[in-house]
Amino acid sequence: MKTGTNTSLPFQLRYVAPYYLGMGIAIPFAALVPYGIEPGIWTYTAFAAAAGMFGVWEQYRSHQGTLSSMGCNTWLALLVLSIVLGCIGACFSILMGAAELAVRVALYSLVGMALVGLIGVRNGRLAIRADPETWLQQRVDLKQQLLKHAAPPPVSPWKKLLIPLGIGCAPVLEALGFGRFSLLFLLLPFLLAIAAFAMFTCGSEITQLWQLRKYERQHGLRFSRFPLAAIQEQRRQLPLARWLCRPEATKNSVFPQK
């Protein structure tokens, strides 16, 4: 598998904090509302505050390295889990009118996803132990202290048809008279497969990033997804940069006078 080193920022840092703030509001909504449970303002506030603070730290102060990547994977896993569990609740409540059954299925699914996440952790540990030196070379550029990313695998035309087929199968099956229970029977494994893949991937990635974090501390290094000079240059253009950024990010920089 080919790997490449990150050399440019994928998006403007000014959008990071609002992105995580929106995620913090969406997680409790997606996970709880389909079950008829009113989360309450405190739940939204807690998730929004936690996600917002992470977003501000990511936008202004993080080194875009291992710790940042672990946080991103954690929030991604929470978002996917909340959407999938919410979809399960909506399916059972709307299609079958069985809200109590939806809660039980969601709890069983949550336990299963936790086990899949642990399997991902074990997979990450095995990847490290198999050949530590080769693994380290595949994950980081030690000379530039940059994290590497894997090139996306090629997607065949048949796989590209899976999304439109998945979206269009429900009305087609309904028109053919399969019934709502049959739709649920087909949809539920698909949703659980998405969540399982996300938990497995995030578990494996967080484990490997944690090992890289330990390597950093042992050798006095600091890995980053992008060149720090490019990150700092972009941060100097952000509102409130002179107050929220690290001193080294704003050192010798000239801010526009208002």
- Burial zone of 65 (CB within 10 Å; 0-12 exposed, 13-18 middle, 19+ buried): buried
* Single-letter amino acid, residue 19: Y
Q: Are 21 and 51 in contact (CB under 8 A)?
A: yes
Main-chain phi, psi angles of 201, to 5 degrees: -65, -45
Q: Which residues of 170-201 are buried (b: 16+ CB within 10 A; e: fewer)?
A: eeebeeeeeeeeebeeebbeebbeebbebbbb
82: CB partners within 8 A, 6+ apart: 26, 27, 28, 30, 31
Query: Looking at residue 238, what DSSP letter applies?
Result: S
Q: How far is CA 151 from CA 3, 142, 154, in A?
A: 6, 19, 9
CA-based nearest residue to 221, from 148, 140, 149: 140
Burial class (CB in 10 A: 0-12, 13-18, 19+), 64: buried
CA-wise closest residue to 110 among 68, 78, 71: 78
Alpha-carbon distance of 184 to 170, in angstroms, equals 9
pLDDT at 207: 93
Cβ atoms 210, 70 nearer than 8 A: yes
Q: Around Cβ 226, how many Cβ atoms within 10 Å?
A: 19
Residue 103 is which amino acid?
Answer: V
CB 149 within 8 A of CB 228: no
DSSP state, 153? P
Within 13 Å, how many C-alpha atoms sit on residue 184's CB side? 17
pLDDT, one tens digit for every residue, the chain (258 residues): 445 555 455 557 778 899 999 999 999 998 888 887 777 788 889 999 999 999 999 989 888 889 999 999 999 999 999 998 888 888 777 666 677 777 888 888 888 889 989 999 999 999 899 888 989 988 998 888 888 865 455 555 655 555 555 555 555 555 656 655 666 667 777 788 888 888 998 999 999 999 999 999 998 888 988 888 888 888 888 888 888 888 776 665 544 443
Determine contact, residues 228/7, Cβ cutoff 8 Å: no
pLDDT of residue 257: 42
Q: Residue 179: its pLDDT value, please? A: 58
Four-residue CA torsion sign, 125, 192, 78, 170: positive
pLDDT, position 41: 83
Instruction: State the first-to-last Cα distance of the chain, in angstroms, to the nearest integer.
Output: 50
